[in-house]
Structure 1
Amino acid sequence: MAGHRIYKLAFSDLYPNYIHKVERKERTKAELDEVICWLTGYSQAQLDELIEPGNPVNLEEFFRDAPKMNIARSAITGSVCGVKLAEIEDPLMLEIRYLDKLVDELAKGKAMEKILRTLPASV
């Protein structure tokens, strides 16, 4: 079975779309980068290299080579593009949709501690 065509999309080509989406809603590139690094375990320096225009690393490679996918990502729920995350069976598509959901939450103005699924200090 062939993979979905989005798997071969270069991350460096997708990233500007994420930037545009969050900046339209008055969020920042730094916040977007924080979300991506939280999810994948990439350092800021690694992410900067991956988003360089022309970098050929595609989404499949981006997630496959991620240093440490955040275990708390399983707490990401809801729907993306009308599809419930809990119903996505393909592991790679689920990772892509987790990132999409986090970007959506950022663009909607959700607080960073909620996006990053962190507990308040008093708990």
Structure 2
Amino acid sequence: MNKRKLVKIILIAFLLYSCKHFYNNFLTAEMIPGVYVNTNFDYTPFLVEIPYGPDTLTLFKDGHFSSRYWGTGAYKLTRSIKGSEIRLQYTYEAGTASFQAPIERNLFGRSPRIVLYKARDHHYEKID
């Protein structure tokens, strides 16, 4: 294989990877509101800031959310080179707190999901 062909193959592979990365990790603000359910939470809890039981997170179009675990509060979508992230800000008995997590989807039509613990595939999946 000559050098020119190799460079073309590398460029095409990089372009395909980049397209996949941007599609999976960059979501618009219109894609975020909806109802999300907590899934794959059946393991020994060790992170105190994520729910380890059934929970429904509702993200409203006006930037507010409601959840049995976090209560009510506001959310904000941010983007960086790594992808889209959501930040939930809420109040609890000790004051104000926030939780930040990546939001992703895949090329095969999966609904957006808020990743809580990637190694265990623990996430909120959008159902509505």
Question: TM-score with structure 1 length normalisation?
Answer: 0.27
**Higher strand fraction (1 or 2):** 2
